[in-house]
Structures are given as structure tokens and as C-alpha cells.
Amino acid sequence: MRNYGDSFQTYGRRSGTETMIILTAGFPDNLYTSRLLKFKKIPCFCRVGDEFEVEFTDPLVPIVGKVTDWDDAKVNLSVPTMVGGRYSQYGHSLITMTKIGEDRYSIDELSIFSRALGWCEVIVEGDYAPPHESWEVDDV
């Protein structure tokens, strides 16, 4: 693992005092959906702009959820920003989540695919991942 020095404290693992990163999505309450949501690395498509949207398609029902209480600066350190357009990041993604309430899910893991860098971890163990390994902390 790359050593990020003092910077890693900002992007380290959850200490219990940070807020959870929550996805709000209205999945149908049925056996099929509840089984699918127990899997790790569910395919989805993420769009990050003024809002952070997570779109699910087959094998889940087509639905778009919204991430709340997210930190744009920390997402930008994990996935390169796009130039121009409505979204700063968008791409095929893999998500692992835990249901915490009606239509509310804690995001445990999230990776977004970047054409420039490949898979970029955004959320690991429920907290923001450190800056992408090919980036120097001082450069961002």
C-alpha cells in the first residue's frame, strides 16, 4: 500500500465519528431484490455532478438512487474529473451496500471505472478511499 503520510488521516478508515455515505433508492421490497442486494460488487452506473446518482439496470430493476452527504473533493481525489459537461465523473461502477432503513443503504464499497486509470476505488469499508495510487497527493 502506498504511504500517504498525514494525508491518509483525512481519507482513512471510518473511526466511528464520520457520517455514513448513504444511497437513497426505492428498490421493490421482494425476495428477488433482497437476495440481489446481499451480493458484493453489484454493477451500476454512477454520475457525479451537482448530484451524485447511482443507476441500476438489469439484473436489478431499473432505478436511479441518490447519494447524500457526499464529499465532492474526496471523490475528485479518487476518480479523475471530466472536462466540461454536466458531470465531473461518470462511468460503469461496482457497489456493495447494506440496508439501514426504508429506501436507505449505507455504501460499503464503490469503484468507478475511468478510461484513463481503470478501476478507481471511491469508497472502501464505508469511508472514502485514499487518492488514486497513480496520483501524487501534492499534485491534486
Tens digit of each residue's pLDDT (9 = 90 or more) over 38-76:
999 999 999 999 999 999 998 778 999 999 989 999 998
**Residue 25 or 37, more confident:** 25
Q: Is residue 14 part of a domain?
A: no
Q: What is the dihedral of CA 84, 90, 91, 96, to 10 degrees?
A: 160
Q: Is residue 3 part of a domain?
A: no
Own/partner pairs, 50-57, CB within 8 angstroms, 24+ separation:
54/23, 54/25, 54/93, 54/95, 56/25
In contact, 119 and 79? CB cutoff 8 Å: no
69-99: pLDDT as tens digits: 899 999 988 888 877 778 889 899 999 999 9
pTM, two decimals, is 0.81
SS3 (DSSP) at 45: strand
Kindly state the average pLDDT of the residues 114-128.
Answer: 92
Q: Is residue 5 part of a domain?
A: no
Q: Is residue 71 part of a domain?
A: yes
Q: Is residue 10 part of a domain?
A: no
The number of folded domains in the chain is 1
Q: What is the pLDDT of residue 111?
A: 97
User: Strand runs (DSSP E) across the chain, as ranges?
Assistant: 22-24, 42-48, 52-56, 63-68, 89-101, 104-114, 118-124, 127-128
Q: Which range marks the domain in which residue 32 is found?
A: 19-139
Q: Is residue 116 part of a domain?
A: yes
